[in-house]
Structure 1
Amino acid sequence: MRSVPIVTGTTTPPPRPRRKRGRLVAIAVVLALLAAGGLAGRHWLSPTPAAPQMTAVAAIGDVENSVLATGTLKPARLVAVGAQASGRITSVKVALGQKVAKGDLVAEIDSLTQQNALRTAQASLANLQAQRTEKEATLTLNRLTLARQKAMTAQRAASQADLESAQAGVDVTAAQIAQLDAQIVEGQVAIETAQVDLGYTRITAPSDGTVLAIVSQEGQTVNAVQSTPTIVVLGDLDTMIVRAEISEADVVAVRPGQPVYFTILGDRDQRYETTLTSIEPAPESIRNDSSFSTTTTSSSSSSSSSSTSSAIYYIGTFDVPNADGHLRTYMTAEVHIVLGRAKGVVTIPSAALGARAADGSQTVQVVGADGTTQPRQVRIGLNDKTIAEVRSGLAAGERVVTGGLEPAVAGSSGPPGPPGG
């Protein structure tokens, strides 16, 4: 009989069934899907919070409706002092920025040619006057001869022909004297012209002003035959004139006599106030109108089309005192032409205004004490597109809606994606 071997040691337990592990994984997946579905449902079913509103309080303030224009400052009197005589400038008597009075010597031109022309005219006049003196003596002689011939003819001591010859001598000499008288007048005019031409060599200031520019220098030769050369430019800086460019969209609302104020770029804190004096009836581009143009048809049509496409501005002018000289020539001015002003009135932001009704009133949304809004019709006066004047329908201290704010975080338009997606 065989003996059975005995095996000693630890025995291995049987393996766990795989079915139970798969069930646990399925349960976990189902729970994750349920959680994602719950979040998505909450996202879709929960109400979106209303966007907060921007509001403003109706307050007492001032409103101004004005037209904005760009202007250029010029002296009220701006004169280009030129030369009417040709020649070399021998001296310039003024300096840049110097103040001069009317009649002050500005410059001198070499006057030798003008002096010679004056002497020639004087000599010609003296010659004519000497000829006249000679003819006067001849006329005296001819008159004596005529008287003698008349006496002799009466006594039949001279012929009728001698008498007629003596009479003709008197008449011819008298006519020659009359001719010389006319020539003497012409000679006197020539002398006066030469004197004037000589005076042109001394260039004087035509009015009081300040030397703004010296165009021609000492030693330079000027030619006054072809054009009038400018020596210096004078301007009266005590009064400045502003030429403001007003657009064609605004000029229909602008009238002479309206209040005007302006500032300059270098000193915006200083405000100059005056009154609009005039508005030119046509823009400066009228100078290039094809009706006056002497160019060809093609160039005229080209300039006409370019002028049509460019902006049109009308020039408004007004004066401003400048005793302190703070304003300078050709400075740029920011001009405000006031169309209307309202002070100490109820004002609200223009953004609060809604649609305009048939009766002219406009709608605003008024915030009540409980935070709700109610539409209300109000009457608006001046409106500068930023602040509006409320004439009726709203009291100071009431709050109006001026706009809405976007939410801080905007929700997406669809459900959220799966976890981990």
Structure 2
Amino acid sequence: MARKVLIYLGALVCASAVGAVAWSSADRETAPMERGTIVAAQRGPIESTVSAFGRFEPSVEAQVSQLVAGRIGALTVRAGDRVTAGQVVAMVEAPLQELSVEAVESRMKRLDAVVRQREAEARLARQTRDTAKPVDERGRPSPEVIGKANAELAVAEALLAQAQALRDETQAELRREQVLLDHARISSPIDGTVLEIHVRAVEYNDPENGSNKVMLIGDTDQLLLKAMVSEADVLDLHPGMAAQVTLVSDPDMILSSTVSIVRPQPQEVNGAMMYVVELPIANTGGRLKPGMTARARFVTSSDSDAVIVPRVAVGVTDNGPAVAIPAGDGFELRAVETGIETRSHKQITSGLSAGQPVIVPFPKDL
């Protein structure tokens, strides 16, 4: 490698070349490097990370709706209450639905009577046909009489089938009306917490007019952090990847999670395409609340025993990455290969050993 004259002040180079200066991990992140400083390549851990912010949401949500028109007679829960699946959370006064059920029940009684009548007529027609033994003057059966008996039986059976079909149809209508009436007792479909209540007692709602939301219930024992990740970073994330989650409101509260889903459909946020990454979090003790903001930190690559130099120590030449090594009153360029990069440092995978001095920043005026 050709040796070139170092442009920086000779006194600074001589003073720095006496011994390489070591630095701590905190120094590597915060301490600015003076122009022309000589530092030693260090051995230690390095990791590349992706950070994203998001909000907690219940893992499961259920919108409880009013399916029958009527006035809210009573709300049996309040926002924040815990409920179980099947628990009654509201009652609807539905007199019109009660009248509908009564009307269909009355029709069912009439149809039951009609079916019984048709059954009796069919039995009689069958008996008449089976007992008829008409003969002509020669003692032979008469086809006309037998044909008439068969026709009368066919008509009776058809009328019976028609009555039975109408009764079955009305029975189904009755079950439907009864189900709607049962919905006057509004129950929670899941175990969870009442998040929002959309109605008030004595308020009238009609589902046909679109006003049927009663309350929102969610499972807050298991929350989902939906982190918004940029399109540049989302390629490095995948389901099963570990993450560290920190609350914005309480930075000392650090939680662990694993990526469950990387949503393929982006969302546009302030003109940028962002992807939702879901992280399940067990809400032990119930301290976490839906809507809280948190920061997720993902380690995309790491090395616990790497040769590390400041990022500004590595330059690009025609032959690829290189560092400047002090040599006499000047320096020489040495080709290196790099690995993991952070905002402040780079890993050197070959071409440089721990303890060897390098010049920072990389000389630009070559």
Please confirm whether the aligned pair reaches a TM-score higher than 0.5, indicating the same fold. Answer: yes
How does 1:11-410 map onto structure 2 within 5 Å? 53-146=36-129, 150-151=133-134, 165-227=148-210, 229-284=212-267, 310-356=271-317, 358=319, 360-366=320-326, 375-403=333-361
Q: CA deviation at 1:384?
A: 0.7
- Under a length normalisation based on structure 2, what TM-score does the superposition of the two structures give? 0.79
> In structure 2, how many angstroms separate the alpha carbons of the residues matched to 1:154 and 1:195?
63
Cα-to-partner distance string for 1:340-387 (whole Å, 9 max, x where unaligned): 0122433222122222563x5421445x8x997554444332111212
Q: Deviations over 1:92-126 (max 9, x none)?
A: 11111111111111111113222222222221111
Find the aligned partners of 1:371 and 1:216 in 2 and give their Cα distance.
Answer: 82
Contact 2:241–2:258 at 8 Å: present in 1 too? yes
Question: What percent of counterpart residues are identical?
Answer: 27
Tell me: CA distance 1:171–1:112, structure 2 relative to 1, closer, same or farther (3 Å).
same
Is the contact between residue 262 and residue 336 of structure 1 (CA under 8 Å) also seen in structure 2?
Answer: yes
* In structure 1, distance between residues paired with 2:138 and 2:185: 70
Is contact 2:314–2:321 with CA below 8 Å preserved after alignment?
A: no
1:64 counterpart letter in structure 2: E
Note the C-alpha offset of 1:151.
4.2
SS in 2 for 1:188: helix
- 3-state SS in 2 of match to 1:281: coil
Unmatched 5+ stretches in structure 2: 1-8, 13-33
Kindly provide the amino acid, as one letter, of the partner of residue 363 in structure 1. V
Cα RMSD after superposing both structures: 3.3
| Aligned equivalents of 2:239, 2:215: Cα separation in 1 | 34
Q: Find the aligned partners of 2:197 and 2:324 in 1 and give their Cα distance.
A: 63
- What amino acid sits opposite 2:96 in the alignment? T
Paired residues of 1:364 and 1:378 also in contact (CA < 8 A): no
Number of the residue aligned with 1:301: none
Quote the residue 1:41 is aligned against.
Answer: none
Contact 2:323–2:358 (Cα < 8 Å) also in 1: no
SS in 2 for 1:351: helix
Question: Does structure 1 retain, via aligned residues, the 8 Å contact 2:324–2:331?
Answer: no
Encode CA deviations 1:130-156: one digit per residue, 9 max, x unaligned.
012122333344445445653476898
Spell out, residue by residue over 1:389-419, the C-alpha distance to the aligned partner (whole angstroms, 9 max, x if none).
2334444445443349xxxxxxxxxxxxxxx
After TM superposition, give the deviation of residue 160 of structure 1 in Å.
Answer: 7.5
Of structures 1 and 2, the larger Rg is shown by: 1
Q: For 1:163-221, what per-residue CA distance to the aligned partner results, in whole angstroms no more than 9, with x for missing partners?
A: 65554433322211111111111121011111111111111111111111111121122
In 2 relative to 1, CA 117–154 (structure 1 residues): closer, same or farther, beyond 3 Å?
farther
Change in Cα spacing, 1:139 to 1:255, as seen in structure 2 (3 Å) is: closer
Query: Counterpart of 2:240 in 1: which secondary structure?
Result: coil
The 1:163/1:253 distance shift into structure 2, 3 A limit, reads: closer
Aligned residues of 1:71 and 1:332 also touching (Cα < 8 A): yes
- How far off is 1:266 after superposition? 0.6
Inter-partner Cα distance in structure 1 for 2:321 and 2:10: 34
Find the aligned partners of 1:123 and 1:133 in 2 and give their Cα distance: 16
Q: Which residue number in structure 1 is paired with residue 23 of structure 2?
A: none
Structure 2 CA distance for partners of 1:392 and 1:128, relative to 1, 3 Å:
same
Answer yes or no: is the 8 Å Cα contact 1:74–1:329 preserved in 2. yes
Distance 1:234 1:273 in 2: 26
Q: How many residues align?
A: 332
Equivalent pair of 1:54/1:402 in contact (CA under 8 Å):
yes
Rounded to whole Å, the distance in 2 between the matches of 1:240 and 1:250 is: 24
Q: Distance in 2 between matches of 1:84 and 1:237?
A: 26
Contact 2:85 2:190 survives alignment (8 Å): yes
Paired letter, 2:159: Q
Distance change >3 Å, CA 155–CA 217, structure 1 → 2: farther
Which structure dedicates a bigger proportion of its chain to strand?
2
Hey, what's the Cα distance between the residues in 2 that align with 1:78 and 1:356? 57
Return closer, same or farther for 1:374/1:149 CA change in 2, 3 Å cut-off. Answer: closer
CA 203–183 in structure 1, closer or farther in 2 if over 3 Å, else same:
same
Using the TM superposition, give the Cα deviation of residue 162 of structure 1 relative to its aligned residue in structure 2, in angstroms.
6.4
Give the counterpart letter for 2:308 in structure 1.
T
The residue that corresponds to 1:12 in the other structure is none
State the one-letter code of the partner of 1:316.
V
- Counterpart secondary structure, 1:177: helix
Distance 1:241 1:250 in 2: 20
**Structure 1: 5+ residue runs without aligned partners?**
1-46, 286-306, 405-421
**Per-residue CA distance 1:278-330 (angstroms, 9 max, x = gap):** 32222145xxxxxxxxxxxxxxxxxxxxx9x9211122223222222232212
Instruction: Determine if contact 1:356/1:363 at 8 Å carries over to the other structure.
Output: no
